[in-house]
């Protein structure tokens, strides 16, 4: 990259589309974003199967195409990037650790917090798993639980409850290898739903309880927050491609035509608007097109949407979070464009639902609208993940440089910023 400018790049490796977003890191200004958009690239994803890398060279080729588009806009080379990762292999685990301090109560220091966090991180994992993120949920001082920032308080002992976001070592290494083959150095690997949750949720939403659902092509990633902290993270092996395949089979039409039909006419919540409406569906091979009631399209898509939402409800139930969605559900990813998804989700979760957009990132940082100078064409839910990765990368970089300016969500404060950003 241009040595005179500080660039930050985020790479979203979806099984359908590969996207890269590059911004220049600017000097701190309370009235402007520390990031300024300089380039974006997007290419069709190749080399993926069931949400995992199946062909390193094909994935690398998609990365190169997307990066070349961004480089043409920014007039410089992209050398490194923060890379998002998702899929069914993402799994969250809770861990607790305690640290005796002294016979007499003494003041808790930052070093004490660092030590107890390291103890919590030593949770035994299988050889094929790795920790992507470690997020503190609460601290306990002697018999007092629910402490959010223990530094400066007095106690005999210190304990911490953390959430560990783990992933498959093999999947991560395959992703890193593919990106490296494209000539890009991987700065760090980030769980996508976690990055989105940290970017688009308000502190109030994290406190009341909110579920982030990123609907990608091959899978759906989930991250649930409650009482200001991350409480659940996982991946569901169902995504937008499954909706498309259902239509292709059910309507007897090529997958490309099914995708177009889903985009133009797809809906999962009728509310009486589909009665009597018919759509033209191209036939397979040389078979002629035929007219199909839109209600049939609705039935196919709704069944798949109910499956995804049902799986998410089950994950919340397993995490004992089902009744704790006071702020509702926030969707991101291209799959969230399905008409009526929020309406159906409100019925499934008995909570409000909304779409998380890239512009929400600036709103949560209390910055002027579009101070990132992001093109209006990129303010859609399919671009939320790559924008969230970019903002997460900035927080991580500023923490490493010791000059974190972007406010941390919820209760974490200085302690939470350092604790949660210090894993990778």
CB-CB contact of 233 with 213 (8 Å): no
pLDDT given at position 144: 86
pLDDT given at position 274: 57
pLDDT given at position 285: 85
Handedness of CA 287, 290, 292, 297 (dihedral sign): positive
pLDDT given at position 421: 36
pLDDT given at position 58: 95
Residues belonging to the chain: 424
Handedness of CA 393, 398, 404, 405 (dihedral sign): negative
Q: pLDDT averaged over consecutive 10-residue blocks of the chain (424 residues)?
A: 78 93 82 84 90 90 97 94 94 92 88 92 91 92 87 92 94 95 95 95 93 94 94 94 95 93 90 73 90 92 96 94 87 93 95 91 66 85 95 85 44 35 37
Structure tokens at 320: 């004992």
For residue 264, give every residue at least 6 positions away whose Cβ sits within 8 Å of its Cβ, in sequence order, or none. Answer: none
Start-end ranges of CATH 3.30.1490.110 in the chain? 94-160
Burial of 46 per CB tally in 10 Å (0-12, 13-18, 19+): middle
pLDDT given at position 324: 76
User: Hey, which CATH number is domain 94-160, 3.30.413.10, 1.10.275.10, 3.40.50.11890, 3.30.1490.110?
Assistant: 3.30.1490.110
pLDDT given at position 51: 75
What is the pTM (predicted TM-score) of this model? 0.89
Start-end ranges of CATH 3.90.640 in the chain? 241-294
pLDDT given at position 102: 82
Residues 167 and 132: their CA atoms lie apart, in Å, by 7
Q: What is the DSSP string of 323-357?
A: T--TTEEEEESGGGGSBTHHHHHHHHHSS-EEE--
For residue 340, give every residue at least 6 positions away whose Cβ sits within 8 Å of its Cβ, in sequence order, or none. Answer: 267, 268, 269, 270, 271
What is the domain class of 241-294 according to CATH? alpha beta
């Amino acid at each position: 990259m241009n040595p005179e400018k500080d660039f930050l790049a985020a790479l979203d490796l979806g099984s359908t589309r590969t996207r890269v977003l590059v911004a220049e890191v600017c000097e701190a200004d309370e009235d402007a974003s520390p990031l300024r958009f300089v380039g974006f690239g997007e290419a069709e994803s190749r080399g993926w199967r069931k949400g995992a890398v199946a062909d390193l060279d094909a994935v690398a080729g998609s990365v190169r195409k997307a990066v070349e588009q961004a480089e043409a806009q920014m007039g410089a080379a992209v050398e490194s990037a923060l890379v998002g990762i998702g899929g069914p292999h993402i799994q969250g685990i809770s861990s607790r650790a305690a640290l005796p301090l002294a016979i007499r109560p003494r003041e808790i220091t930052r070093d004490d917090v660092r030590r107890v966090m390291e103890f919590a991180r030593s949770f035994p994992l299988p050889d094929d798993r790795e920790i992507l993120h470690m997020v503190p949920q609460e601290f306990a001082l002697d018999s007092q639980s629910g402490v959010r920032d223990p530094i400066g308080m007095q106690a005999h002992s210190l304990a911490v409850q953390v959430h560990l976001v783990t992933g498959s070592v093999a999947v991560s290494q395959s992703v890193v290898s593919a990106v490296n083959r494209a000539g890009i150095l991987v700065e760090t690997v980030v769980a996508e739903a976690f990055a989105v949750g940290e970017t688009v949720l308000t502190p109030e939403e994290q406190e009341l309880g909110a579920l982030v659902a990123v609907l990608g092509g091959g899978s759906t990633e989930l991250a649930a927050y409650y009482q200001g902290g991350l409480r659940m993270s996982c991946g569901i092996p169902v995504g937008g491609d499954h909706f498309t395949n259902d239509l292709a089979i059910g309507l007897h039409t090529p997958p490309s035509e099914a995708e177009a039909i889903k985009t133009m006419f797809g809906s999962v919540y009728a509310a009486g608007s589909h009665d009597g409406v018919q759509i033209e569906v191209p036939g397979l091979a040389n078979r002629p097109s035929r007219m199909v009631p839109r209600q049939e399209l609705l039935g196919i898509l709704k069944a798949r949407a109910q499956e995804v939402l049902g799986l998410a409800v089950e994950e919340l139930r397993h995490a004992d979070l089902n009744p704790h969605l006071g702020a509702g559900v926030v969707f991101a990813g291209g799959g969230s464009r399905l008409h009526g998804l929020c309406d159906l989700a409100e019925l499934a979760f008995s909570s409000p639902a909304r779409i998380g957009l890239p512009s929400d990132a600036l709103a949560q940082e209390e910055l002027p609208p579009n101070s990132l100078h992001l093109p209006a064409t990129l303010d859609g839910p399919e671009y939320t993940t790559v924008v969230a990765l970019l903002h997460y990368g900035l927080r991580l970089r500023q923490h490493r440089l010791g000059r974190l300016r972007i406010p941390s969500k919820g209760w974490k404060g200085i302690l939470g910023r350092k604790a949660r950003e210090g894993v990778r």
